[in-house]
């Protein structure tokens, strides 16, 4: 039942036993997922793709704290992601830090930059803020590209890490990333429910009223940027190690926009939404590259593409389908995938009415 | 009694228009003090100056003897001055509970780290949260908002939203509360309730009330003193009966009699 008996139940992580049971089942599912993937190639997934999804999910959760909850916008998150990646790799490579120290440090370096970027956000809103952050994202990667310290244009090779004497493989990274992703998800849920999260949402809904109620806008807006950048930084560090190689060119503008799209497609203003968004978008992005393998539709699309578009062909179609799916989701479910989930839940709860 | 709020020669101009011109007044502790005047008289502008949203061009504002003229809004709130807005500025995608909890913001301490990592019922963040939820519950009882407790504000009817906004201001435990047209858009019954609420705020909670309102019945019922403004200038100040008969006030509201 939904009866509450004390105030703690309002902020509890598991609001009911049902949720607790499902959460545990989900964790068990995450724990045995690699085994399923290796044995059955579930949905054509590989552990690498799942790792990538989890990393993107972390970025999306962080970005959503900024965009969905605080109502600011960032088109420069690839910049924070890059900062995290390069910091982590350099710490491990040059000063041989262990990963568990390098990752938080990467997060804090990113969040320090996030704090700095947050300062112009105090004066800018909407499209203006979008452009300012976009400039930041592009500048960061350009600076990294020009500095020998960061490996210049060639990028950096992430060192091979070892776990108890054996080199770490995708499967090991999988568990590292999942633990971090789960912890950071829980952190975000809790943060939103308590004082700081409420201040963020208040700023989004009415900044004048928030300030009149004692919320220091300067502090909380920059804080939102810092927290969001922290998530991106940690994710960036993980990304560097699962990819094994980073180069400034790969943290481009489209990446920032994809992060933003993950949040919007998944559902603004929820923690689960961005995770769904990151899952779908990452999966599609990778799988659509092999769109020609789908029976019947595949070959037809190849002919279409070769006839009317460039000879290189199929990559066009992949992008078009990707875009089309995005448009359809936003058009028919403005709350994103999460909105779809809410509707399904309501349907089952009230069935047969 | 001692004055809790003192305004000296307050002037603010937007471009060439003097929205408030050389207005001074004092509000006694524990009083219900109303500001009236036709549209554009500068009532809300005075509120915005007190709460720090507009910086005045000249003049001074004292709260409990301390100057608060150029403080930022959040610092003014920390001095325990709460306000409501004319056109409801609620956090529409938060529940009533969360809106009121935001009113407790200045009394709470939980930061990012503690907020994101508390895990059990006795951790500091959870304890604080529980304690303040208890306080908010008192406000909910005071204004009879139980039914709206867990609803999103956006789904509430207008009158209830006005009450939620009042509740949010009360949750701050203010010493002075600024109410900007609390009964605007309410029906007769709700207005009646609002009169009682305003009187209870003063009598039971001991909060000084500064009120801007257009409904003359409400004003005359609850006010201890009234300030009348017209075109940013003070035209009269005094007891409700005096204001009702004051020739300048009648002129401002009803126009001049043709001779």
Burial class (CB in 10 A: 0-12, 13-18, 19+), A244: exposed
Q: What is the pLDDT of residues A262-314, one digit of tens each?
A: 998 888 888 888 999 999 889 888 887 776 666 677 777 777 777 776 656 66
Domain spans of chain B, in order of start: 3-80+174-254
| Rounded-to-integer distance, Cα A8 and Cα A316, Å | 52
State how far residue A182 is from chain B, nearest Cα, in angstroms: 13
Q: B174: nearest CA in chain A? A: A213
Which residues have CB under 8 Å from A254's CB, separation 6+? none
Give this complex's ipTM. Answer: 0.89
Report yes or no: B105 and A213 within 8 Å, Cβ to Cβ: yes
Chain B nearest-CA residue for A224: B112
Query: Could you tell me the residue ranges of all domains in chain A?
Result: 15-45, 46-350
CB contact under 8 A, A194 and B72: no
Q: In A, which residues are within 8 Å of B93 by CB distance?
A: 201, 204-205, 269
Nearest residue to A26 (alpha-carbon basis) of A167, A131, A178, A137: A178
Architecture of domain A46-350: Orthogonal Bundle (1.10)
Tokens 């709206």 — which residue? B148
Peptide bond before residue B239 is cis, with ω within 30 degrees of 0 = no
User: Which residue of A122, A195, A219, A223 to mutate against B (max B Cβ within 10 Å)?
Assistant: A195
**3-state secondary structure at position A240:** helix
- The per-residue pLDDT string of chain B (259 residues; one tens digit each, 9 = 90 and over) reads 578 999 999 999 988 888 888 899 999 998 999 999 888 888 899 999 999 999 999 999 999 988 998 899 999 999 999 999 988 889 988 899 999 999 999 888 888 887 777 777 778 888 888 888 889 999 999 988 888 888 899 999 888 898 999 999 999 999 999 999 888 888 888 888 889 889 999 999 999 999 998 888 888 888 999 999 888 888 888 898 888 888 888 888 777 666 5
Taking phi over 0 as left and psi of -120 to 50 as alpha, with beta for the rest, B2 belongs to beta
Contacts of A212 in chain B (CB under 8 A): 51, 53, 73-74, 76-77, 82-83, 85, 89
- Provide the 10 A C-beta neighbour count for residue A31: 12
Q: From the candidates B76, B116, B122, B134, which should be mutated to test the interface with A, based on the most A CB atoms within 10 A?
A: B116
3-class secondary-structure state, position A45: coil
User: Which residue of chain A is at minimal alpha-carbon distance from B127?
Assistant: A8
Element housing B51 (H / E): none
Domain B3-80+174-254 sits in CATH at: 3.40.50.300
User: Global pTM?
Assistant: 0.88
């Amino acid at each position: 039942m939904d009866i509450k008996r004390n105030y703690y139940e309002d902020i509890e992580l598991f609001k009911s036993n049902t949720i607790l049971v499902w959460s545990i089942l989900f964790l068990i599912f995450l724990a045995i997922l690699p085994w399923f993937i290796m044995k059955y190639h579930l949905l054509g997934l590989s552990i690498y793709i799942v790792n990538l999804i989890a990393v993107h999910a972390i970025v999306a959760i962080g970005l959503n704290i900024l965009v969905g909850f605080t109502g600011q916008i960032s088109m420069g998150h690839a910049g924070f992601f890059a900062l995290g990646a390069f910091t982590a790799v350099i710490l491990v490579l040059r000063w041989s830090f262990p990963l568990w120290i390098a990752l938080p440090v990467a997060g804090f370096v990113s969040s320090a930059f996030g704090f700095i970027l947050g300062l112009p956000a105090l004066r800018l809103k909407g499209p203006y803020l979008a452009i300012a952050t976009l400039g930041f994202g592009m500048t960061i990667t350009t600076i990294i590209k020009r500095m020998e310290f960061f490996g210049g244009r060639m990028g950096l090779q992430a060192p091979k890490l070892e776990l108890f004497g054996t080199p770490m493989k995708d499967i090991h990274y999988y568990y590292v990333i999942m633990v971090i992703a789960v912890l950071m998800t829980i952190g975000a849920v809790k943060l939103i429910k308590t004082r700081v999260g409420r201040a963020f949402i208040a700023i989004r809904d009415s900044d004048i009223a928030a300030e009149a109620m004692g919320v220091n806008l300067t502090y909380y807006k920059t804080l939102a940027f810092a927290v969001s950048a922290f998530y991106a930084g940690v994710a960036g560090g993980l990304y560097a190690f699962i990819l094994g190689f980073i180069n400034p060119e790969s943290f481009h503008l489209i990446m920032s926009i994809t992060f933003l799209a993950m949040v919007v497609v998944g559902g603004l203003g929820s923690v689960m939404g961005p995770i769904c968004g990151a899952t779908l978008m990452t999966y599609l992005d990778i799988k659509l590259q092999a769109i020609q393998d789908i029976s019947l539709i595949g070959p037809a699309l190849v002919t279409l593409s070769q006839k009317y578009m460039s000879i290189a062909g199929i990559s066009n179609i992949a992008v078009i389908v990707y875009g089309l799916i995005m448009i359809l989701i936003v058009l028919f479910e403005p709350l994103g995938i999460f909105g779809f989930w809410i509707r399904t839940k309501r349907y089952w709860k009230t069935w047969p009415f | 009694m001692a004055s809790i709020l003192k305004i000296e020669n307050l002037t603010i101009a937007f471009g060439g228009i003097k929205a408030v011109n050389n207005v001074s007044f004092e509000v006694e502790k524990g009083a219900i003090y109303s500001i009236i005047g036709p549209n554009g008289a500068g009532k809300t502008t005075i509120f915005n100056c007190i709460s720090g949203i507009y910086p005045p061009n000249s003049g001074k504002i004292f709260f409990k003897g301390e100057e608060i003229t150029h403080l930022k809004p959040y610092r003014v709130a920390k001095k325990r001055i709460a306000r409501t807005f004319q056109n409801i500025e609620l956090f529409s995608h938060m529940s009533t509970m969360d809106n009121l909890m935001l009113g407790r913001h200045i009394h709470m301490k939980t930061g990012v780290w503690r907020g994101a990592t508390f895990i059990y019922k006795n951790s500091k963040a959870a304890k604080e949260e529980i304690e303040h939820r208890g306080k908010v519950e008192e406000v909910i009882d005071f204004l009879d908002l139980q039914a709206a407790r867990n609803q999103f504000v956006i789904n509430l009817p207008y009158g209830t939203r006005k009450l939620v906004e009042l509740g949010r201001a009360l949750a701050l435990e203010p010493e002075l509360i600024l109410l900007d047209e609390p009964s605007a858009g309410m029906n007769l019954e709700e207005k009646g309730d609002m009169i009682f609420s305003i009187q209870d705020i003063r009598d039971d909670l001991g909060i000084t009330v500064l009120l801007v309102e257009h409904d003359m019945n409400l004003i005359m019922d609850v006010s201890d003193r009234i300030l009348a403004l017209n075109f940013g200038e003070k035209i009269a100040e005094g007891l409700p009966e005096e204001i009702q008969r004051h020739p300048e006030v009648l002129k401002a509201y009803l126009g001049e009699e043709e001779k």
